[in-house]
């Protein structure tokens, strides 16, 4: 290396010294370095390169035989620099082999850098080794040079600095690899040292807000103390910079528009503690005074000011102002007025026209522009779902006026399909202001949505119960006869096929099959659902087994409504169930053998406006259902008591979601159910009753003609009116339930969406309307978690703690775990 520098020194200074390099034969034309002279290259050789291709190296120099060069001059210097730039040479020595007349013969004597065969870590655990191996750019066969070593050292130190190991030390040692020539093993030794925590945060210059209040605004920069025992106190440079901006954002939101951080410093308290001092200049607090509008023609000043929702004397908050002008996720904004009527090109520029003391006058300069018409609508990413299935959900159609609400509504309805990842549905309006049009690009990411369930459990009196279920949520009958579409089943047309088998040998068997076509005929969102089921239940007895057979079928037609608004749906269902009892005493004592027939007509009016079916953050879900049978008792006599079942059943469910902050959501629910009869002289039958308590899964006494409603903190089916003995066996004829649930999203991953929850709920079940009291409720509180995996649906657990005692159940548990499979609305 020293020799190379020496040669370069002579070449660049061009004659400050002279030297002659002789070959092994007689020198015929010595080179005088004091007199630059042109030569023609007669030959170029490479020596010392044992593993590199000499021809390739000569090509890198840019020199070739026949070229005219000046010696001394810059030609050879540039050739050396080009070789150095490759990073594979450790030393370069250029010599003149010989000179013949005006021809010069050059030799590049090179020393190759070693190559990496492998690297090892020491001083850290296996997980950290795997993470670092992915981050550093060390590859087998790569040349080991100073740049590579420095880059590796920096990456490792930054990795541990992010984890608060600010004192991490990295040493690297190269040792020859005996198995590979010109190769080295790089041993990387890491001493993490102790984690460095923030020991003290000192904010100077603040008068309007306390240190404690300001420190709360910093999300990731927290000092280690008893008050922050649940928060991380590690120091991260990037997060610290973000938190300083959050501190200023807080000041701005409180009217301190001139607030600045004058200085800040991070200093060492000890080896494992840092101190932070932030000096602020708060400035004065400002308020809104006069707000005027200019350039608006579609809406008058008073109406725009009302929508803006800012009054004279309010604290000046530029962030809130921008939100109310351009996009307010929790309410209407001014831009929405224009954009929902096609005025996509509109803009509103708030200008501070006067500042007097602590008051600010604003002038809203409005540009309304022309209405935009939708030109092209493009959908990408639907690799499995057919194009027509996506497009029939779009509310933004070519030729129609642009509407931002329609754009957001389309996103919500694409998410509600369940075929795509809700977090990755992209909406991109592409304005073409020259011709007054807009192109809209929707991008989706397919996710698995077929579900298979293989489970087993203990079903109370039934014993062990096994379940096998298969639900194909994006099935295609159109592709059924095309073998190439079986991957593994034909899919993509949005149809739903569900098969479920539940069995316990000969004592309990249940089979169900259903098929749904959501767009019957393909032109309108009219759904058709057909279902079949069969249940066999046996209760072993010494003298004679008890037996119940239930066979049923149903057909449903549903359609979307445009009134009262286009979130409503109505469904009509015709259902037939046949109950055949043979010495079956589990229902009523006076009805143990015989056949009952139930023909009912179910009408359901529902409204669905939630934004995400997996983890809703806003919107509501309402349902009113009326289940009616013919009033046999009014016009038929002499029939068996339960030969034809008659009832009228009324159900109401409501669920509201409110986004409180970030991914924290409040869900409130109310549920009511009432079973009625047509004649005052008729009895309430054992069918279609309500059983309340537990997880709502039936507790092993599952009977097809019964509604099972969960009430966490209480045992399955345990919430009963003990004043009505009949209720203990058959179930109630009225119930109500209220729930308040606080949910926090933990993981939005489409592979497994996870959220935690805390709940308060109360409900009761009544065996007669004489005893019905909607204010007499059994209460509970608790916590839980939900995991939604596309392949298995919703899984979860709750721990509920009951707050009230149920009469007649002195030994009931106070706290209970409940496991949830499938979505439970009631």
Per-residue pLDDT tens for 176-215? 887 887 788 889 999 988 888 888 999 999 999 999 899 9
pLDDT-above-90 percentage for the chain: 49
Structural domain includes residue 603: yes
C-alpha 55/C-alpha 50 separation (Å) is 13
Q: Which residue carries 């607090």 as its tokens?
A: 285
C-alpha 421/C-alpha 415 separation (Å) is 7
- Write a three-state SS string for 138-160: CCCCCECCHHHHHHHHHHHHHHH
Rounded to an integer, the average pLDDT of 452-480 is 75
| pLDDT, tens digit, 9 for 90 and up, residues 213-269 | 999 899 888 887 766 665 678 888 888 999 999 999 999 999 999 999 999 999 988
184 CB contacts (<8 Å, ≥6 apart)? 114, 115, 116, 117, 144, 174, 175, 176, 177
Residue 16's pLDDT band (cuts 50, 70, 90): very low
The least confident of 289-303, 325-339, 554-568 is 325-339
Co-location of 627 and 557 in the same domain: yes
Grouping H, G, I as helix, E, B as strand and the rest as coil, residue 658 is strand
Structural domain includes residue 525: no
> In which domain, by residue range, is 296 found?
287-367
| pLDDT, tens digit, 9 for 90 and up, residues 389-437 | 999 999 999 999 999 999 999 999 999 998 999 889 999 999 999 999 9
Co-location of 805 and 771 in the same domain: yes
500 CB contacts (<8 Å, ≥6 apart)? 453, 467, 468, 469, 470, 510, 511, 512, 513
DSSP 28-97: SS---TTS-EEEEEEEEEEES-SSS-HHHHHHHHT--TT-EEEESSHHHHHHHHHHHHTS-EEEEEEEEE
Beta bridge partners of 766: 734
Co-location of 129 and 81 in the same domain: no
Phi-psi region of 62 (alpha: psi -120 to 50; beta: other; left: phi over 0): left
Co-location of 558 and 661 in the same domain: yes
DSSP 294-310: ES--SS-HHHHHHHHT-
C-alpha 288/C-alpha 617 separation (Å) is 32
C-alpha 717/C-alpha 729 separation (Å) is 10
- Which pLDDT belongs to residue 226? 61
Q: Are 97 and 7 in contact (CB under 8 A)?
A: no
Question: What's the total number of domains in the chain?
Answer: 7
Structural domain includes residue 380: yes
CATH number, domain containing residue 292: 3.10.20.310
Residue 496's pLDDT band (cuts 50, 70, 90): very high
pLDDT-above-70 percentage for the chain: 89
Q: How many residues does the chain have?
A: 826
In this structure, is the dihedral angle defined by the CA atoms of residues 716, 722, 727 and 729, taken in order, positive or negative? positive
- Which pLDDT belongs to residue 638? 47
Structural domain includes residue 470: yes
Phi-psi region of 328 (alpha: psi -120 to 50; beta: other; left: phi over 0): beta
| DSSP element (H, E) containing 730 | helix 725-730
Co-location of 688 and 588 in the same domain: yes
Structural domain includes residue 167: yes
Structural domain includes residue 523: no
Average model confidence (pLDDT) for the chain?
86
CATH number, domain containing residue 605: 2.40.160.50
Q: pTM here?
A: 0.72
Of 656, 722, 712, 720, whose CA–CA distance to 689 is shortest? 720
DSSP structural state of residue 2: H
Report the interhelical angle of 146-162 vs 126-135 (nearest 10°).
130
Structural domain includes residue 333: yes
Q: Are 487 and 517 in contact (CB under 8 A)?
A: no
Structural domain includes residue 598: yes
- Which pLDDT belongs to residue 79? 85
Q: Are 160 and 124 in contact (CB under 8 A)?
A: no
- Which pLDDT belongs to residue 809? 79
C-alpha 734/C-alpha 689 separation (Å) is 8
Q: Are 106 and 84 in contact (CB under 8 A)?
A: no
Co-location of 240 and 352 in the same domain: no
- Which pLDDT belongs to residue 82? 83
Query: CA end-to-end span of the chain, whole Å?
Result: 81
Q: Are 210 and 216 in contact (CB under 8 A)?
A: no
* Number of neighbouring beta carbons within 10 Å of residue 668: 14
Co-location of 622 and 567 in the same domain: yes
Of 422, 415, 383, 409, whose CA–CA distance to 753 is shortest? 422
DSSP structural state of residue 731: -
pLDDT above 60 for 150 = yes
Co-location of 108 and 121 in the same domain: no
Co-location of 82 and 102 in the same domain: yes
């Amino acid at each position: 290396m020293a020799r190379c520098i020496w040669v370069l020194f002579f070449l660049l200074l061009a004659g400050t010294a002279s030297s002659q390099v002789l070959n092994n034969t007689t020198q015929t034309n010595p080179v005088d370095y004091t007199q630059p002279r042109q030569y023609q290259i007669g030959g170029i050789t490479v020596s010392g390169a044992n593993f590199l291709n000499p021809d390739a190296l000569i090509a890198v120099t840019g020199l070739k035989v026949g070229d005219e060069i000046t010696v001394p001059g810059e030609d050879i210097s540039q050739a050396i620099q080009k070789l150095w730039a490759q990073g594979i040479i450790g030393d370069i020595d250029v010599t003149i082999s010989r000179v013949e007349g005006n021809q010069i013969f050059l030799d590049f004597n090179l020393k190759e850098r070693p190559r990496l065969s492998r690297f090892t870590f020491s001083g850290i655990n296996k997980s950290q080794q795997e993470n670092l191996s992915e981050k550093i750019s060390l590859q087998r066969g790569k040349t080991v040079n100073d740049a590579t070593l420095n880059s590796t050292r920096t990456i490792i130190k930054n990795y541990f600095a992010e984890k608060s190991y600010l004192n991490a030390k990295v040493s690297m040692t190269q040792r020859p690899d005996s198995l590979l020539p010109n190769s080295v093993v790089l041993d990387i030794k890491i001493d993490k040292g102790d984690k460095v925590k923030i020991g003290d945060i000192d904010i100077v210059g603040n008068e309007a807000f306390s240190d404690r209040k300001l420190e709360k605004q910093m999300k990731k920069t927290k000092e280690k103390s008893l008050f922050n025992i649940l928060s991380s106190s590690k120091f991260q440079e990037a997060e610290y910079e973000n938190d300083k901006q959050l501190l200023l954002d807080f000041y701005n939101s409180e009217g301190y528009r001139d607030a600045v951080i004058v200085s800040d410093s991070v200093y060492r308290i000890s080896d494992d503690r840092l101190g932070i001092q932030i000096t602020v200049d708060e400035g004065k607090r400002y308020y809104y005074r006069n707000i005027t509008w200019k350039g608006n023609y579609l809406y008058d000043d008073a109406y725009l000011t009302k929508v803006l929702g800012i009054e004279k004397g309010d604290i000046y908050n530029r962030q809130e102002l921008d939100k109310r002008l351009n996009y307010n996720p929790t309410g209407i904004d001014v831009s929405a007025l224009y954009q929902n009527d096609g005025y996509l090109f509109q803009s509103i520029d708030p200008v501070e026209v006067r500042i007097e003391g602590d008051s600010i006058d604003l002038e809203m300069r409005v540009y309304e522009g022309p209405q935009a018409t939708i030109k092209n609508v493009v959908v990408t990413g639907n690799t499995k779902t057919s194009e027509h299935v996506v497009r029939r959900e779009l509310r933004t159609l070519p030729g129609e006026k642009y509407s931002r609400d329609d754009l957001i509504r389309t996103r919500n309805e694409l998410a509600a399909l369940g075929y795509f990842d809700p977090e990755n549905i992209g909406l991109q309006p592409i304005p073409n202001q020259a011709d007054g049009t807009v192109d809209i690009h929707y991008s989706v990411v397919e996710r698995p949505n077929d579900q298979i369930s293989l489970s087993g459990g203990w079903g109370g009196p039934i014993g062990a119960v096994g379940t096998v279920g298969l639900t194909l949520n994006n099935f295609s009958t159109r592709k059924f006869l095309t073998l190439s579409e079986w991957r593994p089943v034909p899919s993509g047309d949005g149809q739903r096929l569900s098969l479920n088998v539940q069995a316990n040998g000969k004592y309990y068997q249940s089979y169900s099959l259903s098929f749904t076509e959501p767009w019957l005929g393909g032109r309108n969102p009219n759904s058709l659902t057909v279902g079949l089921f069969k249940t066999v239940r046996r209760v072993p007895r010494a003298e004679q087994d008890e037996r119940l057979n239930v066979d049923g079928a149903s057909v449903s037609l549903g359609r979307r409504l445009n009134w009262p608004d286009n979130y409503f749906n109505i469904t009509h269902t015709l259902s037939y169930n046949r109950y055949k009892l043979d010495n079956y005493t589990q229902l009523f004592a006076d009805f143990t053998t015989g056949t009952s027939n139930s023909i009912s007509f179910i009408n359901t009016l529902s409204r669905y406006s939630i934004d995400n079916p997996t983890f809703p953050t806003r919107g509501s879900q309402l349902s009113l259902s009326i289940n009616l049978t013919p009033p046999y008792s009014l016009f038929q006599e002499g029939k068996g008591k339960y030969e034809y079942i008659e009832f009228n059943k009324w159900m109401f469910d409501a669920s509201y979601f409110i986004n409180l902050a970030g991914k924290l959501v409040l869900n409130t629910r109310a549920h009511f159910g009432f079973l009625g009869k047509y004649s005052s002289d008729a009895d309430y039958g054992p069918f279609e009753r309500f059983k309340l308590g537990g997880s709502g899964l039936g507790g092993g006494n599952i009977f097809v003609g019964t509604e099972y409603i969960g009430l966490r903190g209480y045992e399955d089916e345990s919430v009963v009116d003990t004043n009505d003995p009949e209720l203990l066996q058959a179930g109630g004829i009225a119930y109500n339930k209220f729930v308040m649930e606080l949910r926090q999203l933990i993981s939005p991953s489409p592979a497994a969406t996870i959220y935690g929850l805390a709940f308060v709920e109360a409900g009761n079940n009544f065996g007669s309307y004489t005893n019905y009291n909607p204010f007499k409720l059994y209460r509970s509180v608790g916590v839980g978690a939900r995991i939604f995996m596309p392949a298995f649906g919703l899984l979860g657990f709750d721990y509920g703690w009951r707050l009230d005692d149920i009469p007649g159940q002195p030994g009931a548990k106070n706290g209970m775990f409940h496991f949830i499979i499938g979505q439970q609305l009631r």
